[in-house]
Amino acid sequence: MSENTSADGKKRGSVLIVGGGIGGMQAALDLAEGGFKVHMVQRDPSIGGLMSMLDKTFPTGDCAMCMISPKMVEVGRHPNINIMTMADVREITGIPGDFKVKVHHQARSVNPLKCTGCGECTRACPVRNIIRIPERPVPPALPPEWQTLLNETVEAYGGAATSLISMLQDINTRLRYLPQEMLSNLAFKLDLPESHVLAVATFYNAFSLTPVGRHVIEVCSGTACHVKGSRRMIDRLREQLAIEPGCTTKDDRFTLRTVNCIGCCALAPAMRVDGEVYGYVKISELPKILKDHP
């Protein structure tokens, strides 16, 4: 923050720190030592954050608790620091130097001044292990032909979640890409987290999340093709089509890709257009090959 004066020219001397992890605590201590009043807002019942859950830290292997606990005590004791646990920030208004912050404080229902942290109350409480999972929202409806494709595909593999990759392949082959809505619906149907389906769809090179052009050019960049000049081929195509590998031309005519090896090493340098292999490709032949695919 470059300014610390407000609209009326007065300086405000307090700072709000959101989050009481190791970073927040260090910042609070530095500021508090520097003479600022610090308000620390932490969502959890205690400060300490993620580090208090760790054992050793990378790369030195130091014990996490040994580093963090002295700081926790110091923060708790510092007269300039006001800790607000079980609280979160709801609204921030104002300008740099003069903010107004609304903090939502949850009821603790325990008097912190008297509590010794013995834990007897948790042991005595009969209500436990109740997990409340919100109902899964239904994904947006698909166009009818996509819905049929989805149903057929899932059925073909008996709805087994382990066949996810094969299902994605079939959908990718039919639609030539994997639309977002399709993935949401597939995840819903297989009762898998959407993140899992997306993780698989983005991990493997065979899937495309964006529509591809009418013709897909795949330049083999296997070793044999590389030593015979496939890189120059890619450069030329890149210039001629004015796109980078992995992209589609504006008129949706070509998608340019590189593939690791199509196993046609004897025909190096090789490329594939819509699945058809071209061997011993010369740079000077490229314009003609492009022309043959309107």
Partner 1 sequence: MEAVKSVEALESLRHNILASRDEKQAIITICCGTGCLSNGSLKVAAALKNALGRAGLEEKIKIKTTGCHGFCERGPITVIEPEGILYQAVGRKQLEKDVTDIVEALGKGEEPVTRLLYKELETKQTVTHYHDIPFYAKQRRVALRNNGIIDPKNIEDSLARGGYGSFAKALRMEPEQVIAVVKDSLLRGRGGAGFLTGQKWELCRRSQGFPKYLICNGDEGDPGAFMDRSIMEGDPHSVIEGMLIAAWAIAGGQGPIQGYVYVRAEYPLAVDNLTMAVKQAREHGLLGKNILGSGFDFDLTINRGAGAFVCGEETALIASVEGRPGLPRTRPPFPAQSGLFGKPTNINNVETYVNVPSILEKGSDWFKSIGADKNGGTKVFSLVGKVNYTGLVEVPMGMPIREVVFGIGGGIQGGKKFKAVQTGGPSGGCIPESLVDLPLTYEGLSQAGSIMGSGGMIVMDNETCMVDVARYFLGFVTEESCGKCTPCREGTRHMHDIMERICAGEGREGDIETLERMGKAIAAASLCGLGQTAPNPTLSTIKYFRDEYEAHIRDKKCPAGVCKALIKYRISAEACTGCGVCKRNCPVEAISGEKKAVHKIDEQKCVKCGACRESCKFDAVIIE
Residues that bind partner 1 (CB under 8 A): 161-166, 168-169, 196, 199-200, 203-207, 221-229, 231-232, 235-236, 239-240, 259-268, 270, 275-279, 282-284
Residues 6 or more apart in contact with residue 249 via CB below 8 angstroms: 213, 241, 242, 243, 255
86 or 200: whose CB is closer to partner 1? 200
What are the DSSP calls for 56-119, one per residue? Answer: B-TTT--BHHHHHHHHHHHHHH-TTEEEE-SEEEEEEEEETTEEEEEEEE----S-TTT-----
CB of residue 290 to partner 1, shortest distance in Å:
12
31 or 165: whose CB is closer to partner 1? 165
Q: Are 18 and 44 in contact (CB under 8 A)?
A: no
34 or 263: whose CB is closer to partner 1? 263
163 or 180: whose CB is closer to partner 1? 163
Helix, strand or coil for residue 272? Answer: strand
CB of residue 9 to partner 1, shortest distance in Å:
49
184 or 221: whose CB is closer to partner 1? 221
CB of residue 182 to partner 1, shortest distance in Å:
16
CB of residue 207 to partner 1, shortest distance in Å:
7
Cis (ω within 30 of 0) for the bond into 59?
yes
First-to-last C-alpha distance (Å) of the chain: 56
Whole-angstrom CA distances from 235 to 12, 240, 292, 294 are: 59, 9, 20, 21
CB of residue 267 to partner 1, shortest distance in Å:
6
CB of residue 194 to partner 1, shortest distance in Å:
14
d(CA 36, CA 2): 16
With tokens 């920030």, the residue in question is 89
99 or 207: whose CB is closer to partner 1? 207
